[in-house]
């Protein structure tokens, strides 16, 4: 009797040496590694956007009752008003709650589409830290409605203004809040688009590459015709017919983006289906589905994973472009492209264009750095050397 060594426990977390070496390679690329962490941190913050930038307090205590306005809608009735929804930024409500309890606000007291009611200057108003003492004083005076008692005497008028770190746009929305929400939408949109189009693309490529023959021939021609359609014009036409929304845009873009990976995966499958270990698996009596999943797909996944960050980048670019052209998400939805468009329309307000540009540039650069690191980590010349 020959006793086998005890089986490893640890389940799927046990990495094969090949993957371990890839992980090491990825870590060794400092730029990509740090980019990943920075990107993940930014993404995590933007996922919790409601906790960071919101026009409702996170927690409030009113007459001994603990309230969570950020998560629960309380009618204004509760605080002695009559509206269906409470505007916590309304001084009347704020004063009422302050009198009978307290509120904990998120660091930024604006949501994506909160309109600033008492702007220091006409919209778009610049970041508050750029305002001069005289401007602040004038703003406070305007809010007080001529009531000079409300203006604190002496300097530091600007400290009493509600801070808007990057100013507001032409509709009185806070730019920081818009950037955070816009970042989230862009990244989520791109992840979903890249994920779904990779799934479809890998499947189509796998079927073509593995089975070959007529199926491959016909599907290839279909893809050639399909991808030679003028995408942008079709997008413009479609968005004129359909009301653009997150899901509609995703679907339209998906129609064209799935072809990106097909050629790559198909080529990988054509190569891998004649590998000797694939033949060996066939000789062992494995079914086609099992061979594809276990032996051929992992080969194609290297190419797919390598491309994924770049596809995500392209998706972000496409969404931003469409929004910039006014063909994207409906007005009022958080969007970096729309902010860029506003920057273009208000050249006298450089904080709009500059901050949107900076966010897009940093986001795309981080993803590119991560993509490069992933590509190098999967490079067989480096893994097998």
Q: Which two tokens stand for residue 63?
A: 């007459």
Measured from the CB atom, is 280 or 361 closer to another protein?
280
Q: Which of 72, 147, 285, 348 binds another protein (CB under 8 A)?
A: 285
- φ/ψ (deg, to 5) at 338: -65, -35
DSSP letter for 329, please. Answer: S
Q: Which of 290, 331, 344, 361 binds another protein (CB under 8 A)?
A: 290
Q: Which of 66, 72, 99, 283 binds another protein (CB under 8 A)?
A: 283
Question: What is the rounded CA–CA span in Å between residue 31 and residue 29?
Answer: 6
Q: How many chain residues touch another protein (CB under 8 A)?
A: 27
Q: Which of 47, 200, 238, 286 binds another protein (CB under 8 A)?
A: 286
**Nearest one of 291, 280, 346, 95 to 354, comparing CA atoms:** 346
**Could you tell me which stretch among 122-130, 186-194, 241-249, 271-279 binds another protein (CB under 8 A)?**
271-279
Q: Which two tokens stand for residue 98?
A: 């302050």
**Could you tell me which stretch among 84-92, 186-194, 280-288, 330-338 binds another protein (CB under 8 A)?**
280-288
Q: Which of residues 295-314 bind another protein (CB under 8 A)?
A: 295, 298
In the complex, least distance from residue 43 CB atom to another protein, rounded to whole angstroms: 30
In the complex, least distance from residue 200 CB atom to another protein, rounded to whole angstroms: 24
Task: Identify the sign of the CA torsion 344, 348, 349, 355.
Answer: positive
Question: What is the rounded CA–CA span in Å between residue 125 and residue 157?
Answer: 17
Q: Which of residues 1-20 bind another protein (CB under 8 A)?
A: 2-5, 7-8, 16-18
In the complex, least distance from residue 29 CB atom to another protein, rounded to whole angstroms: 15
Q: Which two tokens stand for residue 102?
A: 């307290």
Here's the x/- map for another protein, 114-153, by CB under 8 A: it reads as ----------------------------------------
Residue 341 · residue 184 · CB < 8 Å: no
Q: Which two tokens stand for residue 50?
A: 């409601």
Q: Name the packing angle between helices 246-257 and 231-241 (round to 10°).
A: 150
Q: Which of residues 16-55 bind another protein (CB under 8 A)?
A: 16-18
Strand positions, DSSP E, the chain: 59-62, 65-67, 101-104
- φ/ψ (deg, to 5) at 115: -90, 130
Residue written as token pair 């305007």 = 142
In the complex, least distance from residue 278 CB atom to another protein, rounded to whole angstroms: 8
Contact between 277 and another protein per CB under 8 A: yes
Measured from the CB atom, is 229 or 280 closer to another protein?
280
Question: What is the rounded CA–CA span in Å between residue 51 and residue 160?
Answer: 24
Which residues lie near another protein (CB under 8 A)? 2-5, 7-8, 16-18, 275-277, 279-287, 290, 294-295, 298, 384-385
């Amino acid at each position: 009797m020959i006793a086998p060594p005890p089986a490893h426990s640890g389940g799927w977390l046990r990495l094969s040496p090949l993957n371990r070496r890839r992980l090491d390679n990825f870590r060794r690329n400092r730029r990509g590694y740090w980019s990943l962490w920075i990107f993940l941190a930014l993404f995590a913050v933007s996922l919790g956007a409601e906790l960071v930038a919101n026009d409702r307090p996170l927690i409030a205590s009113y007459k001994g009752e603990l309230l969570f306005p950020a998560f629960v809608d309380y009618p204004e009735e509760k605080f002695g008003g009559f509206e269906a929804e409470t505007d916590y930024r309304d001084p009347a409500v704020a004063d009422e709650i302050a009198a009978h309890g307290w509120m904990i606000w998120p660091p930024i007291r604006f949501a994506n589409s909160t309109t600033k009611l008492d702007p220091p200057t006409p919209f778009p108003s610049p970041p508050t830290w750029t305002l001069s003492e005289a401007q602040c004083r004038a703003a406070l005076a305007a809010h007080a409605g001529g009531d000079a008692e409300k203006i604190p005497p002496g300097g530091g008028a600007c400290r009493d203004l509600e801070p808007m770190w990057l100013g507001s746009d032409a509709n009185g929305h806070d730019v920081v809040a818009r950037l955070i929400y816009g970042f989230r939408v862009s990244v989520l949109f791109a992840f979903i688009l890249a994920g779904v189009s990779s799934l479809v693309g890998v499947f189509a490529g796998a079927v073509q590459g593995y089975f070959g023959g007529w199926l491959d021939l016909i599907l290839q021609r279909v893809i050639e015709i399909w991808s030679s359609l003028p995408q942008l014009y079709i997008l413009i036409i479609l968005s004129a017919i359909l009301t653009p929304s997150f899901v509609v845009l995703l679907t339209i873009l998906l129609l064209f983006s799935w072809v990106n990976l097909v050629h790559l995966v198909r080529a990988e499958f054509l190569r891998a289906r004649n590998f000797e270990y694939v033949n060996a698996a066939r000789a062992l009596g494995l079914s086609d589905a099992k061979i594809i999943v276990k032996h051929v797909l992992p080969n194609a996944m290297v190419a797919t994973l390598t491309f994924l960050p770049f596809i995500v980048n392209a998706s972000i670019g496409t969404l931003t472009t469409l929004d910039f052209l006014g063909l994207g998400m409906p007005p009022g939805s958080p969007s970096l492209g729309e902010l860029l468009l506003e920057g273009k329309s208000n050249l006298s307000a450089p904080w709009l264009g500059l901050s949107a540009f900076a966010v897009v540039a940093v986001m795309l650069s981080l993803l590119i750095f991560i993509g490069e690191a992933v590509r190098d980590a999967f490079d067989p010349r480096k893994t097998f050397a």
